[in-house]
Chain A
């Protein structure tokens, strides 16, 4: 079934919304159509900014779930400091304020030659045509060897039911038990995230004082982000409850038994929080777009985020291979570069040759204090890649309560800048 163009665009409503917006795209016949797949940090931001800056572009966002649960702050839900409500982000503002057509559905297949895709929407299969397609589907997990079952050994690395499952398992932990946390091989979503989770769990267990411990099995040779602050916490504050094991990549797992065989030995846990290795979202891989040398991420031009394989398909956020950190802040940053480039392309203009992107992460080290990590990236025309500006790259001197306050202020603002 092909979407009736009028239904598909929600034309009158869109046009009404368009009247109040800046007139910035030249069009002599019909408005250009952009489809966005995935309503997380990358997808929501690109949809919003295409409407904010693009005027008469018709934007349709296709997202599997009725609302998005933010991974940002989700570690605090696991430890019971926040509720699921606090991290649930809806699509109402995108629809009402920005005139984005939001469709709840799952994109199953892309036909780059025909510039169309097929999605399952409410049980029927619908084909949507596009002038430009933006994919921001996040990550997919690479299943470890053995009898792996995420219901028994949750990752909670996509927020939602997995977050609640892990929270329940943590709160059901008895005395003198072991919580195993595995850290995937880089690159993975949110470099400081697993260490932040380790601190959150260690803080929780310290307060419980029931002799339970956390063992952190890192597939990498060392702490991948904020080594000073996490290192200090692991070796100081949490010395008695936390053991850090580097070079402990998973060889196989038995989820039912709660055992993991690693390059650094065998381990058993009462709660096993297994965060598997990662690759680009499934739709990216299935469409032949995961074409970097590892075959796991999508090669794109960082001036536009256009795929090196198909110029009308743009890939943002965690799925792409530019080497910039896989963070929500960064997905939002890239979405703006992409929206600007798409608008310019519709107007026959070249992309901005000097984009800058930034990443910022705040990590609670205890339930009162947080540290932060930041870096900016400039386009380098020689290597045609985004290069980190080293002078802009640092972690906080130490975790502070100010840092904790800033974390909530930052989260409120980035939630609103992406979804509001």
Chain B
């Protein structure tokens, strides 16, 4: 990394020097005196879901994103998986945690922003787009048909 103030010969740089100095002070201030925050409850446990469901619960493909959903629904779903006859890999993963841990995971995941980049959302966006295109095409066809009807009425007259 090059020093921020590099060429004193340039007058513009000299002019900028105090601003740069101020920026450096601000940067330094942002680095010091931060208040110790105990990690949010459930964060470490929930991060074990991220190998499959994406960092912060936002999957990059295939598997469902799990962030920003209702904590109660997530907890109910996980509890059910941990009790039903194991079939899929999730039924076993859910058995790795105590009910209290499952609750902490659900509550933490619910606080995370919903995913904007998972396949489910992606396909939803695609679906909306295609629907909109189809509707627009229908509208165009309707307008065209109306224009043609009007034209043929004119020529008849």
Contacts and interface: CB of A to CB of B under 8 A. Distances in A.
Same assembly = yes
A375 B93 CA distance: 7
B96 A378 contact: yes
Given A10-B1, A356-B101, A336 B48 contact: yes
B27 interface: yes
B39 A344 contact: yes
A413 B33 contact: no
Contacts of B86: 394
Interface in B31-80: 31-39, 43-45, 47-48, 50-55, 59-63
Given A12-B27, A374-B89, A392-B93, A355 B44 contact: yes
Contact of A414 (B45, B52, B95): B52
B101 A354 contact: yes
A329 interface: yes
Determine which residue in A13, A25, A349, A417 has the highest number of CB atoms from chain B within 10 A of its CB, and name it. A417
A28 B33 contact: yes
A372 B88 CA distance: 10
Contacts of B92: 374-376, 391-394
B3 interface: yes
Nearest to A24: B37
A11 B3 CA distance: 9
Nearest to A346: B36
B4 interface: yes
A52 B95 contact: no
B101 A333 contact: no
Contact of A24 (B28, B32, B39): B39
A19 B31 CA distance: 8
Interface string A255-276: 0000000000000000000000
B73 to A, nearest CB: 22
B18 to A, nearest CB: 17
A226 to B, nearest CB: 13
A23 B61 contact: no
A406 interface: yes
Contact of B96 (A11, A340, A389): A389
A18 B89 CA distance: 37
Given A31-B31, A392-B93, A413-B60, A329 B36 contact: no
A25 B62 contact: no
Contacts of A389: 95-96
B1 A56 contact: no
A336 B34 contact: no
A234 to B, nearest CB: 23
A340 B30 contact: no
A405 to B, nearest CB: 7
B45 A27 contact: no
A406 B89 contact: yes
A408 interface: yes
A417 B55 contact: yes
A45 to B, nearest CB: 9
A412 interface: yes
Determine which residue in B33, B38, B47, B55 has the highest number of CB atoms from chain A within 10 A of its CB, and name it. B47
A340 B60 contact: no
Given A6-B3, A26-B35, A340 B61 contact: no
Nearest to B97: A356
Contacts of B38: 344, 347, 349
A356 B59 CA distance: 21
Given A412-B61, A413-B51, A56 B31 contact: yes
Interface string A49-63: 100110110000000
A7 to B, nearest CB: 6
B102 to A, nearest CB: 11
Contacts of A414: 51-52
Interface string A33-67: 00000000000000011001101100000000000
A373 to B, nearest CB: 9
Contacts of B52: 360, 409-410, 413-414
B47 A49 contact: yes
Contacts of B45: 355-356
A396 B86 CA distance: 10
Interface of B: 1, 3-4, 27-28, 30-39, 43-45, 47-48, 50-55, 59-63, 86-87, 89, 92-93, 95-97, 101
26 contacts: A9-B1, A15-B31, A18-B31, A19-B30, A31-B31, A55-B34, A340-B44, A340-B47, A347-B36, A347-B38, A355-B45, A356-B48, A356-B96, A356-B101, A357-B48, A360-B52, A376-B93, A376-B95, A377-B96, A392-B93, A394-B86, A406-B62, A413-B50, A416-B55, A417-B55, A420-B60
Given A23-B37, A48-B55, A52-B55, 9 more contacts: A11-B1, A28-B32, A357-B48, A374-B89, A374-B92, A376-B92, A376-B97, A392-B92, A413-B52
8 closest A-B pairs (Cβ-Cβ)? A376-B96, A409-B62, A26-B36, A392-B96, A392-B95, A10-B1, A391-B95, A15-B27
